Structure 1
């Protein structure tokens, strides 16, 4: 027969294991819920943008402020035919910076579906922690970020029209 103290000790060990298992289950559930939320909030609309020379960019559309602030930051790379289109409700001078970027990009300034300017090979932050900042020369209603070299490869010029189906 087991002594009451030993019985109590085994009961205590069992309860500790049960509590730890319950805690692990709760933590896993929280992680699962957060993962679902993150996946759903990063589900931006995707569109195709056709350039005057028939080059096509498959772009994620960043309309809300949260997506616009994050942009392409934190990503490891960008496919040559992909990009991110920033859409604004009004025309204004737009300022972009390369905080959190892991690769250089070209930035295309757009007004009324027409290229009004672009910045080529905007560098990612280097060891000096200097973050590149660029601004449009004129008020724009959209900005397109694409892989570095896209503008040169496609002979982009100011005045080129774009087919953007929003």
Structure 2
């Protein structure tokens, strides 16, 4: 019985208002909502420094080994808008990609050794084996959701910065 009385007292106490009473006719006070700061990015990321406009930040998975490069984003059903996968090659070369078993349409951003965008393959059609490439040698290829490059106005010549992405030579 004591437990029931104690539990009832706790429920009653928790229901009481903790705010001070408001006088009739007094203006209502509004409280500004707390400013919410987005969480800081953690882990590997790419920042594209566009030729005009604010930088674009992308959280990435880093792929360096031949076996994981071959698999890439195959079989993925979705990817957050600000996420992608960066392929790191051992040396600059003419890179050719395909969309075999890749369900998502992708933009493929080819990046030179000097970390400028060489070119972009936009909206690559899913589940096709057509070669996707741009003329020239690249050391990195960044895959993002199809249409990302247009939505964020990315273009050849934009500079790229890396955070927590080991150099290609390691």
Question: TM-score per shorter chain, which class?
Answer: 0.5 to 0.7
5+ residue gaps, structure 1, are: 1-45
SS in 2 for 1:133: coil
Where has structure 1 moved over 6 Å in runs of 4 or more? none
5+ residue gaps, structure 2, are: 1-42, 166-170
Q: CA offset at residue 143 of structure 1?
A: 0.3
1:118-148 superposed Cα distances (whole Å, 9 cap, x missing partner): 01100102xxxx4232113100000000001
Q: CA RMSD in A?
A: 1.1
**Structure with greater helix share of residues:** 1
Within 5 Å, which residues of 2 pair with 1:78-97? 78-97=79-98
Give the TM-score taking structure 1 as reference length: 0.68
The one of 119, 130, 151 equivalent to 1:117 is 119
SS in 1 for 2:157: coil
- 1:49 maps to 46
SS in 1 for 2:60: strand
Tell me how far apart the structure 2 counterparts of residues 147 and 132 of structure 1 sit (CA, whole Å): 18
Q: Give the total of aligned pairs.
A: 117
